[in-house]
């Protein structure tokens, strides 16, 4: 009965946590989570603990505390912490720890780089609720004079949190949108790139416009096609079913013969190999297989995005009897509707089947793609036959495991498959960082990695009662855990370089920032190294974007949560830099001879706002956007408070709205169109001058946008990127919001970046 009672208690606590996450009156969040730690042998371990988040205090218990109404004495927590404005939360995705599958998230302290807390939840929904509540609590920024009463038998110890986390990969930008969930799925007004052309088996079929991301005829031979249908199941169950490559997939996927995970890259990305059946292909057509890089994320509204694109991998060469097709872009978007009881499933494919045109016409290739999209109908019937109860927790062997065939520090080769058969280059794979563990840098008190008592810190294997049926499906190879530990030691910069090296160089659609040829672009004149082109036709140029494209908080936002079109911008964009160097370049506005200093010498009331986006690597690239206004700062109170405020206030208010107006579907889905609070995820270095404020956004400081950045960099010279910047308004006096400025970047080319070493 003990195990059954524990299961009942855990189920009840999970339900309570869900209710709290949805906005309980007391703002309380509680439930069972798992502490993920590494022991002295370098193996990851998990320990089940009950956590309570209330009034900006996070408390940890060994057992679920009794309700205060039924207990005369309040139970003391094992450890406690204050969640303040310095706390950041990152989503690490799926991991396997001792055959148990967890959805991991990490808390770290932006002011102390050596402390962290890594927690695991049983489902992505539960992890997302905790992430959202922790971020909301951090944004409330409790005053420094607020203290929690010490525990009776031990001194109150605030968790010391570190951002030296092992894998803070591919977190969704939309999860940082604000402290409240906006009702809109997009902050951009954009025309649909899809046109309906048919309906079959209850699925609507759409085709993508020809200019959907390829600058010409590049996609014409293999157009993107999308099928849309409604499935009677919640989005998480559908997500689990689509991610599984086990035997249960044969119940709905009539295309797949066999699937496996070649390499687990991180909690959100892996390399998978799929062998397709031949009986559904046209007669005489040889069997095909696909080697794909798979990336997934969960958005704040419960939507799941799964993206695929073809890759090369040196440990999965083409097999005899199969022709390897090329998936240029593809994936699923699973959006909950009807209060989560149903989901709209969108399945998109742009695939080159690799056949001779004399043998099979383009129309036949389109027919094969449409047949493959019919899996959405099969998925719908699967859940309908099982009354919506078809959550698939079955995974193929080693699905979350890394390949261990290479020695530590060795190079692996993974390259993205070219969209043209004769164009490809190789990139060197991951370069492992130093092995020094972060634990030895921590003090002996208050550390999250020392959360457990010393007596049970090591060899912490979960009891058999903690396993459920899905856990038995996972491999228990101990060497894999050692690999996970080695990966945990990678520095942020090393992991970022690894991500960049995962990309292949391609002349059409892909760019290798590390291998770009150095070009002599003349002397540097800060503010003018990237040319302006109002016609938006010149590659590697900039212009301003129509502000009505973006949605901002209106005057009544606090009452109705509705956003309105932006009518104009406070500032005008006056220049841009696209530069490269062997180090990070800060405070460009303060350098002599630049645009800002030229106006400073002339005097006047002109004020400049500069956003310097820094992408580190063996070569550091900087994209600096210059905005100017004539209005005195004191006449714009919110902006004045932002410019003259402290970094904590700035980080909680600086907001970016991204938009890929022209580009591949996979990149558009990766970036999204939702506003994000950049300072809550990335380190921003602020430089205040007499007539300017420069924001140095260091992409290498955190992995919050790493999955997004890797895709964007790969397709960079085939993208039109539009952005808007603003200071978020949280009070009635600060509404309606206003855009600081907008920009449009046309087909940036890394080879055209100005090298500071040559200036």
645-675 residue pLDDT tens: 999 899 999 999 999 999 888 888 888 899 9
Return the pLDDT at 469: 35
What band does 685 get if pLDDT is binned at 50, 70 and 90? very high
Q: Is residue 153 part of a domain?
A: no
555 to 124, 560, 566, 578, 732: CA distances (angstroms): 35, 10, 12, 37, 7
586 to 241, 493, 522, 530, 755: CA distances (angstroms): 47, 17, 21, 17, 15
Q: CA torsion sign, 64 to 67 to 73 to 78?
A: positive
Task: Kindly tell me the burial class for residue 694, based on how many C-beta atoms sit within 10 Å of its own C-beta (0-12, 13-18, 19 or more).
Answer: buried
- The CA angle 62-64-67, to the nearest 5 degrees, is 140
Return the pLDDT at 184: 59
φ, ψ for residue 573, nearest 5 deg: -75, 125
CB 558, CB 732: distance < 8 Å: yes
Same domain as 204, residue 119: no
- Both structure tokens of 202: 């209850």
- Please tell me the total count of domains within the chain: 3
Using the predicted structure, report yes or no on whether residue 116 has a pLDDT greater than 70: yes
Last residue of a domain, one of 348, 370, 386: 386
What band does 524 get if pLDDT is binned at 50, 70 and 90? low
Using the predicted structure, report yes or no on whether residue 504 has a pLDDT greater than 50: no
Structure-model confidence comparison of residues 545 and 355, the more confident one: 545
Q: Is residue 423 part of a domain?
A: no
- The CA angle 507-362-359, to the nearest 5 degrees, is 105
DSSP-based helix, strand, coil % in the chain, nearest 5: 25, 30, 45
Distance between CA atoms of 198 and 227, rounded to whole angstroms?
Answer: 10
Using the predicted structure, report yes or no on whether residue 228 has a pLDDT greater than 70: yes
Using the predicted structure, report yes or no on whether residue 423 has a pLDDT greater than 70: no
In terms of DSSP H, where are the helices of 153-227?
none
Same domain as 357, residue 290: yes
Mean local confidence (pLDDT), 517-525: 44
Last residue of a domain, one of 137, 162, 179: 137
Task: Kindly tell me the burial class for residue 578, based on how many C-beta atoms sit within 10 Å of its own C-beta (0-12, 13-18, 19 or more).
Answer: buried
Distance between CA atoms of 666 and 264, rounded to whole angstroms?
Answer: 20
Residue 627 CA neighbour count, 13 Å, CB half:
23
Using the predicted structure, report yes or no on whether residue 471 has a pLDDT greater than 90: no
What band does 456 get if pLDDT is binned at 50, 70 and 90? very low
Identify the CA nearest to 625 among candidates 662, 596, 652: 596
Helix 124-139 / helix 235-243 crossing angle, nearest 10 deg: 120
Same domain as 702, residue 569: yes
Using the predicted structure, report yes or no on whether residue 710 has a pLDDT greater than 70: no
Same domain as 326, residue 200: yes
Same domain as 636, residue 572: yes
Using the predicted structure, report yes or no on whether residue 559 has a pLDDT greater than 50: yes
Task: Kindly tell me the burial class for residue 393, based on how many C-beta atoms sit within 10 Å of its own C-beta (0-12, 13-18, 19 or more).
Answer: middle
Q: Is residue 500 part of a domain?
A: no
Distance between CA atoms of 506 and 64, rounded to whole angstroms?
Answer: 54
Identify the CA nearest to 379 among candidates 248, 255, 253: 253
Same domain as 198, residue 128: no
φ, ψ for residue 408, nearest 5 deg: -60, 135
Which of 360-369, 492-501, 503-512 has the largest mean confidence? 360-369
352 to 127, 213, 220, 328: CA distances (angstroms): 37, 16, 11, 7
φ, ψ for residue 356, nearest 5 deg: -75, 130
559 to 23, 157, 551, 554, 638: CA distances (angstroms): 16, 39, 17, 10, 20
Same domain as 196, residue 127: no
Same domain as 644, residue 707: yes
Q: Is residue 259 part of a domain?
A: yes
Using the predicted structure, report yes or no on whether residue 219 has a pLDDT greater than 60: no
Mean local confidence (pLDDT), 73-96: 79
Return the pLDDT at 596: 94
Lowest mean pLDDT among 76-85, 354-363, 498-507, 736-745: 498-507
What band does 466 get if pLDDT is binned at 50, 70 and 90? very low
Identify the CA nearest to 174 among candidates 345, 305, 270: 305
Same domain as 125, residue 60: yes
Return the pLDDT at 645: 93
Return the pLDDT at 173: 38
Task: Kindly tell me the burial class for residue 264, based on how many C-beta atoms sit within 10 Å of its own C-beta (0-12, 13-18, 19 or more).
Answer: buried
- Both structure tokens of 35: 């502490």
Return the pLDDT at 525: 78
Predicted TM-score (pTM) of this structure: 0.71
- Both structure tokens of 344: 């709209």
Q: Is residue 439 part of a domain?
A: no
Return the pLDDT at 487: 39
Q: Is residue 447 part of a domain?
A: no
Return the pLDDT at 91: 85
What band does 84 get if pLDDT is binned at 50, 70 and 90? confident
Return the pLDDT at 258: 93
Tell me what the pLDDT averaged over the chain comes to.
74
- Read off the DSSP letter of residue 469: G
- The CA angle 662-667-669, to the nearest 5 degrees, is 105
What band does 402 get if pLDDT is binned at 50, 70 and 90? very low
Return the pLDDT at 628: 96
Q: Give per-residue pLDDT as tens, 576-625.
A: 999 999 888 999 999 998 999 988 888 878 999 999 999 877 788 899 99
The helix/strand/coil state of 588 is helix
Please report where in the chains the tokens 């040889």 appear, as a residue: 286
Return the pLDDT at 27: 66
CB 188, CB 739: distance < 8 Å: no
Please name every residue paired with 104 in a beta bridge, in sequence order, or none if there are none.
Answer: 93, 120
Distance between CA atoms of 434 and 432, rounded to whole angstroms?
Answer: 7
Same domain as 325, residue 197: yes
Return the pLDDT at 593: 84
Q: Is residue 699 part of a domain?
A: yes
Identify the CA nearest to 60 among candidates 452, 554, 373, 463: 452
Residue 196 CA neighbour count, 13 Å, CB half:
6
Using the predicted structure, report yes or no on whether residue 379 has a pLDDT greater than 60: yes
Identify the CA nearest to 165 among candidates 31, 267, 307, 33: 267
Which of 322-331, 388-397, 508-517 has the largest mean confidence? 322-331
What band does 708 get if pLDDT is binned at 50, 70 and 90? low
The domain of 100 spans 26-65+74-137
Return the pLDDT at 679: 86
- Is the backbone peptide bond immediately before 736 cis, with ω within 30 degrees of 0? yes
- The CATH code of the domain that includes 227 is 3.30.530.20
Identify the CA nearest to 587 among candidates 690, 725, 702, 676: 690
Task: Kindly tell me the burial class for residue 153, based on how many C-beta atoms sit within 10 Å of its own C-beta (0-12, 13-18, 19 or more).
Answer: exposed
Distance between CA atoms of 63 and 58, rounded to whole angstroms?
Answer: 15
Radius of gyration of the chain (CA): 26
Using the predicted structure, report yes or no on whether residue 701 has a pLDDT greater than 70: no
CB 565, CB 189: distance < 8 Å: yes
Last residue of a domain, one of 325, 352, 386: 386
Using the predicted structure, report yes or no on whether residue 367 has a pLDDT greater than 70: yes
**756: CB partners within 8 A, 6+ apart:** 524, 579, 580, 581, 585
Identify the CA nearest to 161 among candidates 90, 104, 87: 87
Using the predicted structure, report yes or no on whether residue 160 has a pLDDT greater than 70: no
Q: Is residue 402 part of a domain?
A: no
Distance between CA atoms of 178 and 734, rounded to whole angstroms?
Answer: 15
Residue 451 CA neighbour count, 13 Å, CB half:
33
CB 348, CB 665: distance < 8 Å: yes
What band does 2 get if pLDDT is binned at 50, 70 and 90? very low
Mean local confidence (pLDDT), 523-531: 81
Same domain as 128, residue 197: no
The helix/strand/coil state of 652 is helix
Using the predicted structure, report yes or no on whether residue 127 has a pLDDT greater than 80: yes
Distance between CA atoms of 410 and 425, rounded to whole angstroms?
Answer: 19
Distance between CA atoms of 508 and 717, rounded to whole angstroms?
Answer: 8
**Numbers of helices and strands, H then E, in the chain:** 13, 31
Query: How many other C-beta atoms are found inside a 10 Å radius of the C-beta of residue 443?
Result: 10
Using the predicted structure, report yes or no on whether residue 361 has a pLDDT greater than 80: no
Using the predicted structure, report yes or no on whether residue 458 has a pLDDT greater than 90: no
Same domain as 243, residue 111: no
CB 691, CB 643: distance < 8 Å: no
Distance between CA atoms of 160 and 111, rounded to whole angstroms?
Answer: 10
In total, the chain counts a number of residues equal to: 759
In terms of DSSP H, where are the helices of 332-459?
362-373, 375-385
Mean local confidence (pLDDT), 363-383: 92
Q: Give per-residue pLDDT as tens, 293-336.
A: 999 988 888 899 999 999 999 989 999 999 999 999 999 999 99
Query: How many other C-beta atoms are found inside a 10 Å radius of the C-beta of residue 379?
Result: 25
């Amino acid at each position: 009965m003990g195990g059954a009672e524990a299961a009942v208690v855990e189920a009840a606590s999970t339900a309570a946590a869900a209710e709290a996450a949805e906005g309980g009156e007391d703002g309380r969040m509680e439930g069972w989570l798992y502490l993920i730690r590494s022991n002295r042998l370098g193996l990851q371990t998990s320990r089940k603990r009950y956590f309570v988040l209330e009034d900006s205090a996070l408390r940890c218990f060994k057992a679920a505390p009794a309700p205060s109404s039924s207990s005369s004495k309040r139970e003391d927590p094992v450890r406690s912490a204050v969640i303040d404005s310095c706390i950041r939360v990152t989503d690490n995705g799926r991991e396997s720890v001792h055959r148990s599958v967890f959805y991991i998230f990490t808390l770290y302290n932006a002011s102390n780089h050596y402390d962290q807390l890594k927690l695991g939840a049983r489902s992505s929904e539960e992890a997302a609720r905790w992430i959202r509540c922790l971020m909301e609590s951090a944004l409330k920024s409790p005053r420094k004079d607020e203290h929690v009463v010490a525990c009776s038998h031990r001194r109150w110890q605030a968790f010391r949190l570190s951002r030296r986390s092992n894998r803070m990969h591919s977190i969704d930008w939309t999860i940082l949108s604000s402290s409240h969930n906006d009702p809109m799925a997009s902050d951009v007004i954009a025309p649909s790139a899809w046109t309906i052309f048919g309906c079959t088996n209850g699925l609507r079929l759409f085709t993508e416009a020809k200019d959907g991301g390829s600058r010409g005829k590049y996609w014409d031979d293999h157009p993107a096609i999308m099928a849309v249908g409604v499935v009677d199941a919640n989005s998480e169950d559908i997500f689990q079913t689509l991610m599984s490559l086990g035997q249960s997939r044969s119940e709905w996927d009539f295309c797949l013969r066999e699937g496996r995970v070649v390499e687990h890259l991180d909690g959100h990305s892996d390399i998978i190999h799929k062998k397709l059946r031949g009986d559904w292909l046209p007669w005489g057509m040889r069997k095909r297989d696909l080697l794909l890089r798979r990336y997934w994320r969960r958005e704040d509204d419960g939507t799941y995005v799964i993206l695929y694109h073809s890759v090369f991998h040196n440990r999965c060469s083409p097999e005899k009897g199969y022709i390897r097709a090329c998936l240029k872009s593809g994936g699923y978007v699973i959006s909950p509707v009807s209060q989560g009881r149903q989901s709209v499933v969108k399945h998109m494919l742009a695939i080159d089947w690799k056949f001779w045109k004399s043998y099979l016409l383009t129309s036949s290739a389109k027919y094969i793609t449409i047949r493959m999209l019919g899996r959405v109908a099969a998925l719908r019937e699967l859940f309908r036959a099982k009354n919506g109860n078809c959550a698939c927790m079955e995974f193929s062997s080693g699905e979350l495991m890394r390949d261990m065939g290479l020695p530590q520090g060795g190079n692996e080769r993974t390259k993205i498959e070219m969209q043209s058969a004769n164009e490809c280059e190789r990139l060197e794979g991951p370069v492992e960082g130093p092995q020094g563990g972060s634990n030895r840098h921590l003090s002996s008190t208050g550390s999250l990695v020392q959360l457990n008592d010393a007596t049970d810190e090591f060899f912490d294997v979960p009891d058999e009662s903690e396993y459920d049926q899905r856990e038995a499906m996972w491999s228990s190879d101990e060497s894999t855990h050692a690999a996970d530990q080695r990966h945990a030691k990678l520095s942020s910069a090393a992991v970022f370089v690894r991500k960049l090296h995962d990309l292949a160089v391609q002349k059409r659609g892909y760019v290798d920032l590390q291998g770009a040829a150095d070009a002599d672009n003349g002397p540097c004149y800060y503010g003018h190294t990237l040319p302006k082109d109002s016609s938006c036709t010149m590659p590697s140029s900039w212009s301003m974007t129509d502000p009505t494209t973006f949605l901002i908080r209106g005057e009544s936002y606090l009452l109705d949560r509705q956003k309105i079109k932006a009518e104009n911008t406070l500032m005008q964009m006056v220049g841009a830099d696209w530069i490269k160097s062997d180090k990070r370049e800060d405070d460009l506005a303060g350098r002599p001879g630049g645009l800002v200093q030229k106006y400073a010498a002339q005097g006047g009331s002109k004020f400049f706002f500069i956003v310097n986006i820094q992408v580190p690597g063996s070569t550091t690239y900087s994209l600096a956007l210059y905005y100017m206004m004539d209005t005195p700062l004191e006449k714009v109170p919110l902006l004045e408070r932002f410019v003259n405020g402290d970094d904590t206030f700035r980080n909680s208010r600086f907001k970016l709205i991204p938009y890929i107006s022209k580009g591949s579907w996979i990149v558009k889905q990766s970036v999204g169109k939702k506003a994000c609070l950049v300072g809550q995820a990335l380190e921003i270095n602020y430089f205040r001058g007499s007539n300017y404020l420069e924001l140095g956004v260091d992409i290498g400081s955190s992995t919050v946008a790493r999955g997004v950045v890797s895709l964007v960099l790969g397709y960079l010279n085939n993208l039109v990127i539009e952005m808007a910047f603003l200071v978020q308004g949280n009070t009635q006096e600060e509404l309606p919001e206003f855009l600081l400025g907008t920009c449009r970047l046309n087909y940036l080319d890394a080879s055209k970046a100005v090298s500071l070493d040559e200036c």
